[in-house]
Amino acid sequence: MGALDGKVAWITGAGTGIGEATAMCLAEAGALVVLSGRRAEVLESVAASVRDAGGRAEVAVLDVADAEACVTAATGIAARHGRIDILFNNAGINVSARHFDVLSPADWTALVQVNLNGAFYCVHAVLPTMRAQGDGLIVHTASMAGKRHGYVSGPAYSASKHGMVSLSASINIEEGRYGIRSTVISPGEVATPILDRRPSPVSPEERARALQPEDLARTVLFVATMPPRACVNEIEITPTVNRLNATMLGER
């Protein structure tokens, strides 16, 4: 018996990095994982890996920036499986031209539309099902950029992640009476493809010292296996050798 047997978990940004690792981890614990993202072929590859490992997975291609598409995806999951136990709000982007001297209004809008509005759209889409079943867990991938003010992430990404932290807190204030819990995880640097968008390259040595996707997957699993009476409001997790601290201190 897995800790998540019988549970249905919807994961956005599931094609790579943290989403992919979390899909494998939750499926290993017994959950049916529904994988969402914009690239069908990448999602199908992750789903095949889950199935090869003995888990259950299905694909629901989705652009979280499309509010109606989020509703369609959530209602489809509920119709097929009768429930949605976990939403992992993990889809997120950043841009290379990210600082005020080069950041365009178009890039700001596109980033906020995915990182913050897309998170809200998915939350809004699952709440009716979770309220009706009297239980539900929503986990968000935020960032230390949503807890501290620094240079590296840029103002659009930082603002979107600060908004996500507030969104999660608001869910707990309003929806706990329905048995719905929300956790926001704020990691430091994670060795995922988003590092490729950094204006300055990240070396292989620096990537090796960063958090790895499986570290975040284990964190999500920890939250998902807590009893329904316990709400883990926030988690901050950073690399032991935290390069961003050095950056904020002016050492780089």
Question: So which residues are the catalytic ones?
Answer: 157
CA 216 to chain centre: 10
3-state DSSP assignment of residue 225: coil
| Spatial separation of the C-alpha atoms in residues 83 and 205, rounded to whole Å | 43
Q: Compute CA distances 137 → 23, 141, 182, whole Å.
A: 15, 13, 6
CA 211 to chain centre: 15
Helix (H) or strand (E) holding 32: strand 32-36
Residue type, 115: N
The terminus-to-terminus CA distance of the chain in angstroms comes to: 49
